[in-house]
Structure 1
Amino acid sequence: MDIFAFPPIMAILDAAYGALTGLSALLEPFTGAAAAASAVILVTLFVRALLIPVGISQAKAEQSRAKLAPKLRALQKRHKKNPERLQRETMQLYKDENTSPLAGCLPVLAQAPVVGILYTLFLRTDIAGHPNELLTHDLFGASLGTSLVHMLTAGPFSLATLLVYAALIAIMIVVAEITRRVFRPTPVDDSPMSSPTMLRMMSALHYLTAVFAVFVPLAAGLYLTITVTWTLAQRVILRRRYPLPVSAG
């Protein structure tokens, strides 16, 4: 069964296809062959602008969690022999302070549908029964509908695709390294989340976007690159507006 033939999903894809092709047509006199890529960039910036309030809420929640660190350490010491009690008390503390340990997941979840739609639009040869003209567009000679993994494993080989992907992945890795260094998690004594293994795993997660990008069409990879760059810039600005306590820095 083709899930994309399901009428509601087909309607969403067709509407997104019409909007993106229409935007590409408007941009073509200014950007030429890169019109579709430019449209993807504008869509990305629009989505990120819509999510600015979410980013502000995230920064506030991060500030609140940092302020809670001493109380969390006290709970760890008081209930370290009773994990169930510790979990209940920890969640109650977050509830009392009107924050959540999972607040940082919201921007990722909010963007998932957009990434999914872009992935599908630049993957399928037809959308709602008509040919997918988006697949004819490229960025500096690299097809927007080709993933790096597909190009390397199934061909045909394209030097342009390799170079464009290399540039995007390099940007994502640099952004991930800056993010890892600047926004280190606040350790909590005796917490499993503060163990060396867990901290290494959390650091590695910063590079997950770059790994994921090699498997998706170039258009989705472009979206991810702009997203992580925007996110870093936004977090730097909001950290200045909502600084963490000195002891948590």
Structure 2
Amino acid sequence: MSVFASLVEHLADLLQPLFGASAAAAAIILFTALVRLLVHPLSRAAARGQKARTRLQPRIAELRRKHAKNPEKLQRAVLELHAEEKVSPLSGCLPSLCQIPAFFLLYHLFSSSTIGGEVNGLLSHQLLAAPLGGRWADAFGDGGLLGGAGLVYVALFAVVAGVATFSYRLTRRTMADRPVLPAGDAGAVPGVGALTRVMPFMSFFTLVTVAVVPLAAALYVVTSTTWSAVERAVLYR
């Protein structure tokens, strides 16, 4: 983690002339953008996979008619078709899973008072009046929602709500145009039916995450979800 802390501090030093006391926050946003650039090929592959699943719908419909009285055989046939075409119904989750290590690194980095036995100097950095190691609940003890830290969180939640709403509408439209599986076939792949129902609302979980994690980790989440929304709008247009 000390190597990661050094990376964040180095980026903050580079950005300090432009962002002043908020340089570390800008460094986290830049770091998030770099992570998303690295994951972008997986996002493009997921988009191609979604389009491939749409292309397979006529063949899946034919399998449904052929094995209408044998659900187990239908399930095997659908899975074999996806394997043959090298298409995974859950491939869209891969870009998000690959980002989990980076998120937890930031979470632990800004939750630890010491790094390698030394005082964690990153905790002294702020985004305007809000400490990067602080949480939303801390803002209530520092002037409330109208205090300096509180206003930072108000703005952050406004951004999150806007991005979540945009993502919700985009997901609903994308799933209507390119369903993971037709309604009658959702049960052919275990878990896909439940995932299909929950997926449009997953963007709103970001609100809960931002409320409970350190501000530094919240910046990662907000930047990443905003990137995802724009990226999906382009890739799935």
TM range (shorter): 0.7 to 0.9
1:1-249 equivalence runs, <5 A: 13-149=1-137, 151-152=139-140, 155-156=141-142, 158=144, 159-184=147-172, 185=175, 186=179, 188-190=182-184, 191-192=186-187, 199-240=196-237
Counterpart Cα distance in 1 of 2:203 and 2:230: 15
Change over 3 Å in CA distance of 1:133–1:90 after alignment to 2: same
Identity %: 37
1:157 CA displacement: 5.4
Query: Partner residue of 1:9?
Result: none
- 3-state SS of 1:100 partner: coil
Distance 2:51 2:91 in 1: 11
The alpha-carbon deviation at position 88 of structure 1 amounts to 1.4
- Structure 1's 115 and 80: CA in aligned 2 closer, same or farther, altered over 3 A? farther
What runs of 5+ residues in structure 2 fail to find an aligned partner?
none
SS in 1 for 2:212: coil
Instruction: Tell me the TM-score normalised to structure 1 length.
Output: 0.82
How far apart in 2 are the matches of 1:117 and 1:198?
Answer: 27
Quickly say closer, same or farther: Cα 1:133–1:56, change in 2 above 3 A. Answer: same
Unaligned 5+ segments in structure 1 are: 1-12, 241-249
Deviation at 1:239, TM superposition (A): 2.1
Q: Which amino acid aligns with 1:189?
A: A
Shift of 1:129: 0.6
Q: Which amino acid is the alignment partner of residue 183 of structure 2?
A: D
Aligned residue identity for 1:203: P
Structure 1 counterpart of 2:215, one-letter code: L
Partner amino acid, structure 2, of 1:223: Y
Q: Identify if the C-alpha distance between structure 1 residues 93 and 143 changes in structure 2 by more than 3 Å, giving closer, same or farther.
A: same
The count of residues paired between Structure 1 and Structure 2 equals 225
CA-CA distance at 1:18 after TM superposition = 1.1
Normalising by structure 2, report the TM-score.
0.86
